[in-house]
Structure 1
Amino acid sequence: MKWTSIPLIALFTTCLFAMPAQAAPVLCDKYASTTIQGGRYVVMNNVWGADTAQCIDVNQNGGFTVTQAAHNKPTNGSPAAYPAIYAGCHYANCTTGSNLPMQASASGFAALRSTVSMTYPSSGAYNASYDIWFDPTPRTDGQNTGAEIMIWLNRQGSVQPVGSQVGTVTLAGGTWQVWYGNIGWNVISYVRTSPATSLDFTINTFYSDAISRGYAQRSWYLTSVQAGFEPWVGGTGLTVNSFSFGSTGTGTDTTPPSTPGTPTAAGTTSTGTTLSWAASSDNVGVTGYDVLRATGDTITVVGSSSTTSFTDTGLSPATTYRYWVRARDAANNVSPESAAATVTTLPGGTGGGCTAAATIQTSWSTGYVVQPVTVTNTGSSAKNGWSVTFTLPAGHTITGSWNASLTVSGSTVTARNLAHNGTLAANASTSFGFQATRPDGNTQAPSGYTCT
């Protein structure tokens, strides 16, 4: 098995060298660090994975250059170091004016932005990456245990992130492989499919995607934003030319997302329906969608989603509704509304309906078995034919089923009866089951079981 990039921390006490206000020191001690721009940022040498020499020449304008690196580590193991510049708190060494830690649900979180410009040598084995840390608490010291978001702008040599690839996504003007692994905390890595030397993005762009995949939570706290390099072999010449982090406010980005696709409905019952639509695009990144519903002439926002699907419940039987969706970005720019979708709920009636209840029989790190999913006719007369819809979490895949025919459309799964179990007497029940795989460590389970 190929080893992967290990998280960019080490159990060490940070050494802070006192320097004149505008000094641009050369740091060669393994864990040496210094502040720049009046304490706004910290630059650290951070040779946490090796005993080989490394020196960095600090640029007071907001960066550094690796001037010496004697690393020669196998690329199927951990890297030698993570020389970086950061804002926030790293093992109790905190910068000035970053306003971190900040909860990801805070009103100012969406406006947090970072930029970086980098230069790469043609030799060696390394990655160029952001390392963005989240913790369930407003931690300023020690190991964060929530999510580690890594954004790889470039890599050279046979190096790869923690875990395995779970998808591909377009964010912040680029296309990225998405990798996931858990080593005591969730590591979500975004690896650019074509190298880039610069990036300008909102933190929420990538964090919202991690949340939508079940790897992070909005209640967690951003503790630090770091940009630098992981060298395995060599490293001399790796340069951060400039770095910034701060709040841009909501007026900097004025470009709205594109119009989302027209919603389509699936699994409609007498009281609910599941909508899905084609994603919007944005110059920075879409952070969510508003779902609008009209009954007659009254239009209301009935909910929001960080993905391209939404389940609306509590509807009236035999009633026609119209739905639209619109996209939002981190600066709260709003797209035009999509074309409308018309949905008519099924009749209710005194004969009653049916219910579906699911049980996870067994579960392991990369999969699970759901059995039984019990379908019960709650009506007062026999029913001929039933279907059950439910939502499958992102990254999960159905690998087998029994006693029902399953079809998948996006994240919506529809299970329909077979010939031998389609007729149910009043108050009678039948059941089916299925098996699914999931990304390692993703503990989400299917939800929203609805029977018709």
Structure 2
Amino acid sequence: MKRLKGIGLAVVLLLGTVVGVATPANAAPVICETFGSTSIQSGRFIVMNNVWGASTPQCIDVNQAGGFTIQSAGHNNATNGAPAAYPAIYAGCHYGNCSTGSSLPMQANNAAFNNIRSSVSYTYPSSGTYNASYDLWFDPTPRTNGQNTGAEVMIWLNRQGPIQPSGSQVATVTLAGATWQVWFGNIGWNVISYVRTTTGTTLDFNINTFYTDAVNRGYAQRNWYLTSVQAGFEPWVGGAGLTLNNFTYTTTGGGGDTSPPTAPGSLTASGTTANSTNLSWSPSSDNT
């Protein structure tokens, strides 16, 4: 996720109704603040700029219907370290900034968890070093603030340049109609990354599809809570032109206690992906 993501959806939500569909990016708002964010579709999705891993500038043009474009970016991070940012759209809670109507946090052993779906559509520029990825956050408690400490499940639809997830590759698996490399690392929490073996521009899937695989591998637990469903980009170099065209999130409800627990005070970090398997890092308490 990074700040407002750690590393490494405007809607009618209830009763299985699709939560958000986007059109090409509108002119406003444009967010250039490091951790600036805005809610769209009456608060059902939140879009964040989230430049947590660099001091270089970045601006995103938010589409009120449910997407965004990186309008400009000056990033030039080393590819064997953390990405510069994680601009993303999400449902749920991220460092106390919560969308409405998501039913999150939700325990993964709740029957309603089986019905959570999301979809995304991306457009990629011809240059830059980046990934296009989901970031699904799980915590042993129904956390609405601070760093999640259970599992971070990343789903990379595309990667460009010499970058790789945290940890090392442990398997290859077919899920949601595609083949994925499975990577695992621990940076204070488990990071399970699914890297598509061929470039993908769209994904429509049940959240439980990937989480069941992570649980079966012993990297996650059924009694942990899903706190947010995020989709965006991790740029290392450049990033201008990366576009999330549309994002959807659907659920039949079933969330539990959402009172915010006390965040652990000992965590420091700033991201979750890296080129070196010996490199250990993650988002700071300002990140998630």
Secondary structure, counterpart of 2:114 in structure 1: helix
1:247 CA displacement: 1.7
1:126 to 122, 127, 130: 130
Match of 2:23 in 1: none
Secondary structure, counterpart of 2:215 in structure 1: helix
Contact 2:103 2:251 in 1 (8 A): no
Secondary structure, counterpart of 1:38 in structure 2: coil
Secondary structure, counterpart of 1:108 in structure 2: helix
Residue 8 (str. 1) matches residue 2 (str. 2): yes
Following the alignment from structure 1 to structure 2, what is the Cα–Cα distance between the partners of residues 225 and 11? 11
- Kindly tell me: are residues 166 and 210 of structure 1, through their superposed partners in 2, closer, same or farther at Cα, counting changes over 3 Å? same
Contact 1:23 1:60 in 2 (8 A): no
Contact 2:105 2:227 in 1 (8 A): yes
If each structure's strand is expressed as a fraction of its own residues, which one has the higher value? 1
Per-residue CA deviations over 1:370-402 (Å, capped at 9, x if unaligned) read xxxxxxxxxxxxxxxxxxxxxxxxxxxxxxxxx
1:8 CA displacement: 2.6
Following the alignment from structure 1 to structure 2, what is the Cα–Cα distance between the partners of residues 11 and 127? 14
Residue 79 (str. 1) matches residue 83 (str. 2): yes
Match of 2:270 in 1: none
* Structure 1 residues 302-321: aligned runs within 5 Å: none
Following the alignment from structure 1 to structure 2, what is the Cα–Cα distance between the partners of residues 27 and 138? 29
* Structure 1 residues 110-125: aligned runs within 5 Å: 110-125=114-129
Residue 246 (str. 1) matches residue 250 (str. 2): yes
Decide which structure has the larger Cα Rg and report it.
1
Match of 1:193 in 2: 197
* Structure 1 residues 29-428: aligned runs within 5 Å: 29-247=33-251
1:9 CA displacement: 3.6
1:24 CA displacement: 3.2
- Kindly tell me: are residues 93 and 23 of structure 1, through their superposed partners in 2, closer, same or farther at Cα, counting changes over 3 Å? farther
Match of 2:262 in 1: none
Secondary structure, counterpart of 1:132 in structure 2: strand
Following the alignment from structure 2 to structure 1, what is the Cα–Cα distance between the partners of residues 183 and 200? 18
1:107 CA displacement: 1.1
1:95 CA displacement: 0.2
Q: TM-score, normalised by structure 1?
A: 0.51
Query: Partner letter of residue 243 of structure 1?
Result: F
Contact 1:103 1:222 in 2 (8 A): yes
Following the alignment from structure 1 to structure 2, what is the Cα–Cα distance between the partners of residues 174 and 248? 26
Following the alignment from structure 1 to structure 2, what is the Cα–Cα distance between the partners of residues 161 and 11? 15
Contact 2:5 2:50 in 1 (8 A): no
Per-residue CA deviations over 1:342-383 (Å, capped at 9, x if unaligned) read xxxxxxxxxxxxxxxxxxxxxxxxxxxxxxxxxxxxxxxxxx
1:26 CA displacement: 0.1
1:248 CA displacement: 6.5
Secondary structure, counterpart of 1:230 in structure 2: strand
Following the alignment from structure 1 to structure 2, what is the Cα–Cα distance between the partners of residues 160 and 125? 11
Contact 1:148 1:186 in 2 (8 A): yes
Q: TM-score, normalised by structure 2?
A: 0.79
1:80 CA displacement: 0.4
Query: Partner letter of residue 8 of structure 1?
Result: K
What runs of 5+ residues in structure 2 fail to find an aligned partner? Answer: 7-25, 254-288
Following the alignment from structure 1 to structure 2, what is the Cα–Cα distance between the partners of residues 41 and 49? 23
Contact 1:8 1:131 in 2 (8 A): no
Secondary structure, counterpart of 1:214 in structure 2: coil
Count of residues in correspondence between the two structures:
234
1:10 CA displacement: 6.2
What runs of 5+ residues in structure 1 fail to find an aligned partner? Answer: 1-6, 13-21, 250-452
Following the alignment from structure 1 to structure 2, what is the Cα–Cα distance between the partners of residues 52 and 147? 29
Following the alignment from structure 2 to structure 1, what is the Cα–Cα distance between the partners of residues 29 and 203? 26
What is the RMSD of the two structures over their aligned residues, measured on CA atoms? 1.6
Match of 1:438 in 2: none
Structure 1 consecutive aligned stretches of length 4 or more whose deviation exceeds 3 Å = 9-12
Query: Partner letter of residue 60 of structure 1?
Result: Q
- Kindly tell me: are residues 33 and 110 of structure 1, through their superposed partners in 2, closer, same or farther at Cα, counting changes over 3 Å? same
Following the alignment from structure 1 to structure 2, what is the Cα–Cα distance between the partners of residues 43 and 31? 10
Query: Partner letter of residue 193 of structure 1?
Result: T
Query: Partner letter of residue 25 of structure 1?
Result: P
Following the alignment from structure 2 to structure 1, what is the Cα–Cα distance between the partners of residues 62 and 152? 25
Following the alignment from structure 2 to structure 1, what is the Cα–Cα distance between the partners of residues 66 and 112? 24
